[in-house]
């Protein structure tokens, strides 16, 4: 997994199997690191240059939780976007995959062909 670019997925810590992005990211050639919202800054500090950061809001988040994710997105975009690292917000898997494919399409590293 060291040879794959990593995507940081930040969620609220309540992971549902049908909303996991890890399998889809692996198919795109990325390794995923999933962290709860509260640990996002610490995990990001240990991740050198992620390919992207995906903020995965719960589907049924209330306004307060949505606002927390939006504020984090704004802060991360101001620090990461100048370096070319996209910060995406999603509320579901299908939307996240489409956004990731659009943002990272040409950058995907699926590993060497054998």
CA 18 to chain centre: 16
- pLDDT value at residue 109: 39
User: What pLDDT is stored for residue 21 in this prediction?
Assistant: 79
Radius of gyration, CA atoms only, the chain = 13
pLDDT higher than threshold 90 for residue 102 = no
* Mean pLDDT for the stretch of residues 16-43: 85
pLDDT at 7: 93
Please give the structure tokens belonging to residue 77.
């975009």
DSSP assignment letter at 79: H
Q: What is the mean pLDDT of the chain?
A: 80
- Mean pLDDT, rounded, for 82-110: 68
Instruction: Identify whether the C-beta of residue 103 lies closer than 8 Å to the C-beta of residue 68.
Output: no
Domain 5-105 bears CATH identifier 3.40.50.2300: yes
User: Between 20 and 49, whose confidence is greater?
Assistant: 49
Q: What is the pLDDT of residue 92?
A: 57
């Amino acid at each position: 997994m060291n040879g794959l670019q990593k995507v940081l997925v930040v969620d609220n810590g309540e992971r549902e199997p049908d909303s996991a992005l890890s399998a889809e990211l692996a198919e795109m050639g990325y390794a995923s690191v999933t962290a709860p919202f509260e640990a996002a800054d610490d995990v990001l500090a240990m991740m050198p240059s992620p390919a992207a950061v995906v903020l995965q809001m719960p589907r049924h988040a209330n306004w307060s939780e949505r606002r927390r994710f939006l504020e984090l997105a704004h802060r991360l975009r101001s620090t990461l976007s100048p370096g070319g690292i996209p910060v995406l917000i999603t509320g579901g898997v299908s939307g996240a995959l489409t956004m990731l494919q659009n943002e990272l399409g040409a950058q995907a590293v699926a590993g060497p062909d054998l």
